[in-house]
Amino acid sequence: MNSKNILKIIGIILVFVILQSYFTTPERFGAIIENWKNYFMTVIMSIFIAILLEPIAKYLKKKSKMKMNDMLAISLSIVFVILIFILLSLIVIPEIISSLKALNNVYPYILSKTMTIGKNITDYLAEKNIYTINMEEVNSYFTNFIANNVTNIRKIISAFFGGLLDWTIGFTNLFLAFVLAFLILLDKKHLIKTLENIIIIIFGVKNTPYVMKKLKLSKDIFLSYVSGKLIVSAIVGLCVYIILLITGTPYAALSAILLGVGNMIPYVGSIIGGIIAFFLILLVAPIKTIILLIAIIISQLVDGFIVGPKIIGDKVGLNTFWVMVSMIIFGNLFGLVGMFLGTPILSIIRLFYIDLLKAKQGGEQ
């Protein structure tokens, strides 16, 4: 019995075991899958981080005047990335705190204005004998509502602390991903050889060069897409920031960050970021929302017709429909990270699909 038949038998057994586990105890099976998804996500994240760090490490090693070994180059590239994150945090966090303080200051005015409008409406309805509201009944209703929903309030508080726990776990996974990325780059040659041996076992010696070539091409597509998207998103954010800063629009930095980060998620990201920025500015300076809309239009024109085509071009080769499909599927699987990485992943899958289709059509002819 050859290796291919053995692998097929193992695959069938695994599928059978998975299906049996699912139908026997679906809840427990779901919990196990969720845990394994988190572990799998950390490993995948480490591979992506390693791909992004590799060019930086190579550049540092090449440009360094002193002789630099792989360990030092990789370590410095990680330090460089961490310093960028710290620098961005030092810019973003104070701006967010300032924005929250401003919202907190304007909140009493908004509440007072809302209450005044509500009172005017109720007074008008009472005057016209349309509808009368008894304020004592309203107060009694809210008192009973709070008393009856103490459990729900406790659940909200628990969810908040649970969210803090999730953030802690997420930070730990990110730290582990960086450690794994460091080890991947440090032992890259050995890992590539191991991967090649696995491919030989699965696909055979004859098909191994083709698979390795496609994997390298996949890495290049991913790297060029992600690096290009980061540069374009930074330009979009900078464009918005300059326009809002010159015109004295409030929340200039925060709006630029929202639109820059949102731009990394195709199509919907900029819309979501723009809506949040719009409502933030609307609360403080409604007339300035026009400036924001102009800034968004200009930044999207710069992205769509100037920097986008030059930096990213048509590297992914997917139309709008498939980009949206990739965002939905990978977004549901891996959250925001999946929405961002779904496009290059589906583009890589498309490479193999096209080659398999050509091989099939050629065989039939």
Q: Is residue 314 part of a domain?
A: yes
Domain total of the chain: 1
- Domain span at residue 224 reads 205-358
Does a structural domain hold residue 54?
no
What's the pLDDT band for 349 if we cut at 50, 70, 90?
A: confident
Kindly state whether residue 191 falls inside one of the protein's structural domains.
Answer: no
In a domain, 127, yes or no: no
Q: Which residue has the higher pLDDT, 94 or 295?
A: 295
Judge contact between 247 and 291, C-beta under 8 A: yes
* pLDDT score at 365: 44
Residue 82, domain member (yes or no): no
Question: Is residue 263 within 8 Å of 237, Cβ to Cβ?
Answer: yes
Distant-in-sequence, close-in-space partners of 153: CB < 8 Å, separation ≥ 6: 146
Residues 118, 124, 125, 126, Cα dihedral to 10°: 110
Q: Is residue 13 part of a domain?
A: no
Q: Does residue 342 lie in a domain region? A: yes
* pLDDT tens figures, 82-131: 888 888 778 777 777 776 677 677 667 666 766 777 677 777 666 766 65
Q: Considering the entire predicted model, what is its pTM?
A: 0.66
Judge whether 225 lies within some domain: yes
For residue 36, CA distances in Å to 40, 41, 84, 206, 327 come to 6, 8, 31, 33, 21
Weakest-pLDDT range from 12-26, 49-63, 145-159, 346-360? 145-159
Integer Cα distance of 204 and 197 in angstroms: 9
- Pick the most confident of 144-158, 238-252, 313-327: 238-252
- The number of beta carbons lying within 10 Å of the beta carbon of residue 293 is 13
